[in-house]
Amino acid sequence: MDLLPTPSQTVGPFFHLGLTTDARSIACMASSKAKGERVWLCCRVFDSEGLPVNDAMIELWQADADGRYHGGNENPGADPECPGFGRLAADDEGRCEFETIKPGRVPGPDDVRQAPHIDVAIFARGLLKQLFTRIYFANDPANAEDPVLALVPEIRRHTLMAQQDPSRPGHWHFELHLQGEQETVFFDV
């Protein structure tokens, strides 16, 4: 009997069925006791046509208000009230909302402090591997000094910026465009 390889397929929308159940979804990344400025971050995922991706899953990682990541022995002084991890499935409008604190500046290359940012992994249909990007906060003065953001062509940096909602203090919006003219800058990590 000859064995033939089966065709490869992309990951279907099935991964979020097991990872974003009520027990495994994590919308609150920092408790109400965490130090720092409280923020709500609404993320939306769009395809190349500008249509919402309703079966995407987003994972976020961030530092605490002092720029320390939770977990491991590397940062024993990290705020225990800010685990800094979130995971949610997108709704029918490609949207999900996280509650957290604005992260502090973390050391970067050559010990230059990076601007406050949140690391992002996007899982969606048609992707063999997740995509990685960052969310920066628009108009933060530290953005001008960030060594990673400086690697991104200036004309594309806006794709990494969360925008503050002027009608709701502490609320930010971030759009992830998987392809197309407004495609978000993704990092090869």
Calculate what percentage of the chain has a pLDDT beyond 90: 75
What mean pLDDT, rounded, does the chain reach? 89
Q: Is residue 51 part of a domain?
A: yes
pLDDT number for residue 108: 81
Whichever domain contains 127, its CATH number is: 2.60.130.10
Q: Is residue 19 part of a domain?
A: no
As a whole number, mean pLDDT of residues 62-86 equals 87
Domain hosting 144: range is: 31-177
Q: Is residue 155 part of a domain?
A: yes
Q: Is the pLDDT of residue 101 over 70?
A: yes
- What's the per-residue H, E or C state across the chain? CCCCCCCCCCCCCCHHHHHCCCCCCECECCCCCCCCCEEEEEEEEECCCCCECCCCEEEEECCCCCCCCCCCCCCCCCCCCCCCEEEEECCCCCEEEEEEECCCCCECHHHCECCCEEEEEEECCCCCCCEEEEEEECCCHHHHHCCCHHHCCHHHHHHHEEEECCCCCCEEEEEEECCCCCCCCCECC
Q: Is the pLDDT of residue 22 over 70?
A: no
Q: How many domains does the chain have?
A: 1
Sign of CA dihedral 28, 29, 33, 37: negative
Question: Per-residue confidence at 14, pLDDT binned at 50, 70, 90?
Answer: low
Q: Is the pLDDT of residue 19 over 60?
A: no
Q: Is the pLDDT of residue 133 over 50?
A: yes
Q: Is residue 90 part of a domain?
A: yes
Q: Is residue 14 part of a domain?
A: no
Q: Is residue 37 part of a domain?
A: yes
Q: Is residue 4 part of a domain?
A: no
pLDDT number for residue 70: 86
pTM, two decimals, is: 0.88
Question: Per-residue confidence at 107, pLDDT binned at 50, 70, 90?
Answer: confident
pLDDT number for residue 9: 47
Q: Is the pLDDT of residue 45 over 70?
A: yes
160 contacts 136 by C-beta, under 8 angstroms: yes
As a whole number, mean pLDDT of residues 177-184 equals 94
As a whole number, mean pLDDT of residues 69-98 equals 88
Q: Is residue 115 part of a domain?
A: yes
As a whole number, mean pLDDT of residues 72-97 equals 88
